[in-house]
């Protein structure tokens, strides 16, 4: 079933910190507990982070597949370098309204392997007693196999599909599948593209936008979420637009 957008849209887009970033000189390594704590302190509405599944079935937070000890999906949790947090520790450090967990899938994974990862991560996020309730979580992935399996495994979980371009044919298919949002590079989004995605009942998450002029343009276009490395700048920009 396709999702539906609320009749009354928020006055401004939500601002999500990209990997826990605060700004160019923030001094915090991305995707760390310290980074998530610092990003939470900015007043950002959300935080986006990346996860890999270790060889022994644990979820760890890191953008790149490779670490100094080797590919994260080929390591046991005990072999993962210090400083790379578990998903549980990362979520506990995020004092924001929404945390977007981007599932990383090895490029050589088969559709069945990708689907298994999506189903497993969705199940992990839905566990009762976890660090955050389901209504504060979003799962996203570039892998349609993984994201689709997550949708099927936990229908109440908001799932976003990451895409590289605003392709009209994808919008209807994503809506029919039940996705919550399309996550789209900000450069390809304008008012027409945003309106078309909204017409299909999907939210629009723009990534990764750091310049105030681009932020203001996207606010005018009607996007729902800005993912940014500079949440302090974004918060000023979107509030200024909403008050203008």
The boundaries of the domain holding residue 232 are 15-243
**Residue 1 counted as domain residue:** no
Distance CA 84, CA 241 (A): 37
pLDDT tens digits for range 50-102: 999 999 999 999 999 999 999 999 999 999 999 999 999 999 999 999 999 99
CB 198 within 8 A of CB 222: yes
Q: Give residues with Cβ within 8 angstroms of 72, minimum separation 6.
A: 52, 54, 60, 62, 65, 66, 80, 84
**Residue 4 counted as domain residue:** no
**Residue 3 counted as domain residue:** no
Q: Which CATH number fits the domain that encloses residue 109?
A: 3.20.20.190
User: How many structural domains does the chain have?
Assistant: 1
User: How much is the pLDDT for 168?
Assistant: 74
pLDDT tens digits for range 164-201: 887 777 888 999 999 999 999 999 999 999 999 999 99
Query: Closest by alpha carbon to 233, among 204, 203, 213?
Result: 213
**Residue 6 counted as domain residue:** no
């Amino acid at each position: 079933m396709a999702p539906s957008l609320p009749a009354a849209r928020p006055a401004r887009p939500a601002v999500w910190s990209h990997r826990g970033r605060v700004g160019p000189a923030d001094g915090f390594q991305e995707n760390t507990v310290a980074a998530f704590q610092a990003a939470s302190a900015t007043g950002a509405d959300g935080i986006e982070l990346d996860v890999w599944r270790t060889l022994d079935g644990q979820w760890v937070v890191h953008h790149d597949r490779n670490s100094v000890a080797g590919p994260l999906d080929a390591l046991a949790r005990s072999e993962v370098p210090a400083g790379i947090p578990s998903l549980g520790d990362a979520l506990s450090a995020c004092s924001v309204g929404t945390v977007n967990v981007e599932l990383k899938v090895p490029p050589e994974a088969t559709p069945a392997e990708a689907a298994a990862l999506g189903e497993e991560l969705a199940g992990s996020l839905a566990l009762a007693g976890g660090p955050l309730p389901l209504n504060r979580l979003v799962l996203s992935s570039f892998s349609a196999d993984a994201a689709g399996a997550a949708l099927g495994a936990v229908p109440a979980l908001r799932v976003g599909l990451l895409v590289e371009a605003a392709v009209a044919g994808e919008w209807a298919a994503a809506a029919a599948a039940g996705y919550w949002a399309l996550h789209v590079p900000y450069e390809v989004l304008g008012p027409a593209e945003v309106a078309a995605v909204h017409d299909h009942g999907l939210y629009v998450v723009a990534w990764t936008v750091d310049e105030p002029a681009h932020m203001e343009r996207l606010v005018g276009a009607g996007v729902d979420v800005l993912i940014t490395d500079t949440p302090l700048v974004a918060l000023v920009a979107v509030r200024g637009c909403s008050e203008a």
